[in-house]
Amino acid sequence: MPRHLFTTEKRVIPVGQHKIKLLILRPLEHRTEKVPGVLWIHGGGYQSGSAKDIFATRALSLVVKYGAVLVAPNYRLSKKHPYPAALHDCYAALLYLKEHAEELGVRSDQIMVGGESAGGGMAAALCMLARDRGEVSIAFQMPLYPMLDDRDTPSSADNHAPNWNTKRNRKAWKRYLRDAYGTELVSCYAAPARCTDYRGLPPCYTYVGDLEPFYCETTDYVNHLKDAGVEAEVDVYPDWFHAYDLFFPTKKVVREAISRFEEHYQYAAEHYFASQDK
């Protein structure tokens, strides 16, 4: 597998009265054919992290190994800007990717979204918002161990695993949702597990560990997609806590998980397309 050198570029885009930064990674070599464009959203419980986290995540291999174009938004964080600020920022970045596909060398019918943890939750939320607004079509989603449900699940209600647990999860959701937390006012665009109609969402691949809080909501999400006729698959890894793959990238099982992720991306690049309405 050839390794692609890549360029990094920072751009600023408006979001209402605000502006956010985008980090864009593109293959360095000149190409005549267009490639998939991936909006990759960083994790951090919606309260921390930044676009530069992309260099330590699964996303980097998509440009280094497979020549994709990546766009990472530096969305507003919930410490100062609760929902829906981050959603508005990421959706604006998604529209920017669509509108600048030609310039960026991206196939407009192969816009994909992904992310880890809260970034995975945001990727799922964007799929729902994009479907419902009809302004941009998403070909494939890769929400890895996504943060989807503000309510307790069997795996998040009494979780004391390393890195992310019940206490941290509840605190992050309260900060993101503020007064809506714990009520029925929470939208599926804030917590995608609140969705009641999964039809028309893009195909999905994800993986998750069975020790972490997001285990149940991840497997539930995939099952809901499959029940709605959407192609979806999840790999479950035993004895993994949250973001295990980022802590132990050289372990054999993690290398195998990365290979599985990359295989699914390659399959998507060859088989999944979503044309944009003019």
| 276 lies in some domain | no
Q: How many domains does the chain have?
A: 1
**pLDDT, tens digit, for every residue of 68-127?**
999 999 999 999 999 999 999 999 999 999 999 999 999 999 999 999 999 999 999 999
Whether the model pTM is above 0.85: yes
| 139 lies in some domain | yes
Reported as a pLDDT band with limits 50, 70 and 90, residue 23 is very high
140: three-class secondary structure by DSSP: strand
Q: For residue 38, what are the CA distances in angstroms to 41, 116, 135, 243, 253?
A: 10, 13, 17, 20, 25
Average pLDDT over residues 128-142: 98
- The order of strands in the sheet holding 232-237 is 6-15, 18-27, 69-73, 35-41, 106-116, 140-144, 204-209, 232-237
| 91 lies in some domain | yes
Query: Tokens standing for 222?
Result: 């995939």
| 278 lies in some domain | no
Query: Tokens standing for 78?
Result: 């919930």
| 1 lies in some domain | no
Range of the domain at 179: 6-271
| Phi, psi dihedral angles at 105 (to 5 degrees) | 75, 30
| Side chain identity at residue 156, one-letter code | S
| 277 lies in some domain | no
* Half-sphere exposure in the Cβ direction for 40 (13 Å, CA): 28
Which CATH number goes with the domain that contains 39?
3.40.50.1820
Closest CA to 58 of 76, 42, 74: 42
**pLDDT, tens digit, for every residue of 231-263?**
999 999 999 999 999 999 999 999 999 999 999
| 204 lies in some domain | yes
